[in-house]
Amino acid sequence: MLKGKVALVTGSTSGIGLGIARALAGQGADILINGFGDAQQIERLRRELAAAHGVRVLYSAADMSKPEEITEMIERTTAGLGRVDILVNNAGIQHTAAVEEFPVERWDQIIAINLSAAFHAIRAALPQMKARNWGRIVNIASTHGLVASAHKVAYVAAKHGILGMTKVVALETATTGVTCNAICPGWVLTPLVQKQIDDLAASRKIPAEAAKKELLGEKQPSHEFATPEQIGALAVFLCSADAAQIRGAALPVDGAWTAQ
């Protein structure tokens, strides 16, 4: 479905971003992946994606807190793969603390990476999408773009901001072939979340399954994690012709978290 298209996915060397990159590559899109990690592991991942799906795959180590590096990443994708048709803003970080104890530098970092980075990437990629009259912008928000949790002031503020930005871009592109939407995952089983489960199980001396239920029980009524593959499948759908009139939407994948 996406053969001949080029996708850029930020924060895609692991977790949700990698799930999305794999799903898009599986539909024939050439990919630029981005993120931090061991250089050899990332190179193996790049080759694996290319070989498994018969697509071109580039890698950028651009720091999402630095606007000039984001612009350079868009330019590199365009130079190396010919264009940017699909932009997935996924990169994000987290820190938890009460508002009055929240470190100012962590606030600035989270807003920069979780919110401002998406603006800089959209701003750089949108002109060429408009020129071709086709583009898909998918912002990975969170249930925390719709509801809040204590001790996550910067993350919640950033994700609410992502949904506002999504709506503005959707309105400004409403008469074009470019769409902009947001996906709002709840708990997703990624390596980082698996580590939380394992740590909780070890500290409480309880089975991993009990730790999983405890982690999910407070927020996610289904008591099941979403998966990176499910998020990837939704991103693929948003890139399809069938989704051409889904614009400015915030689509939860949260096991009924936000239904409460």
104-132 pLDDT per residue, tens:
999 999 999 999 999 999 999 999 999 99
Could you tell me the pLDDT band of residue 200, with boundaries at 50, 70 and 90? confident
What is the residue-averaged pLDDT of the chain? 96
Give residue 240's pLDDT. 97
CA distance 190 to 82: 31
CA distance 172 to 22: 30
SS3 245: coil
Catalytic residue among 155, 187, 225, 257: 155
DSSP for 126-145, please give it. HHHHHHHT-EEEEEE--GGG
Could you tell me the pLDDT band of residue 151, with boundaries at 50, 70 and 90? very high
CA distance 94 to 161: 15
- Lowest mean pLDDT, pick from 61-70, 84-93, 163-172, 203-212: 203-212
Give residue 217's pLDDT. 87
The proportion of the chain whose per-residue pLDDT surpasses 70, expressed as a percent, equals 100
Give residue 193's pLDDT. 84
Residue 63 exposure: Cα atoms within 13 Å on the Cβ side: 6
DSSP state of 248: S
CA distance 74 to 78: 6
209-240 pLDDT per residue, tens:
999 988 898 899 999 999 999 999 999 999 99
Beta bridge partner(s), residue 58: 32
Length of the chain in terms of residues written? 260
The proportion of the chain whose per-residue pLDDT surpasses 90, expressed as a percent, equals 91
Give residue 154's pLDDT. 97
Give residue 183's pLDDT. 98
Whose tokens are 């996915």? That residue is 9
Which of 235, 253, 228 minimizes the C-alpha distance to 18? 228
CATH of range 6-188+226-254; options 3.30.420.40, 3.40.50.2020, 3.40.50.300, 3.40.50.720: 3.40.50.720
> Is-catalytic flag, 155?
yes
Q: Check if the beta carbon of residue 55 is closer than 8 Å to that of residue 31.
A: yes
Give residue 111's pLDDT. 98
Give residue 199's pLDDT. 86
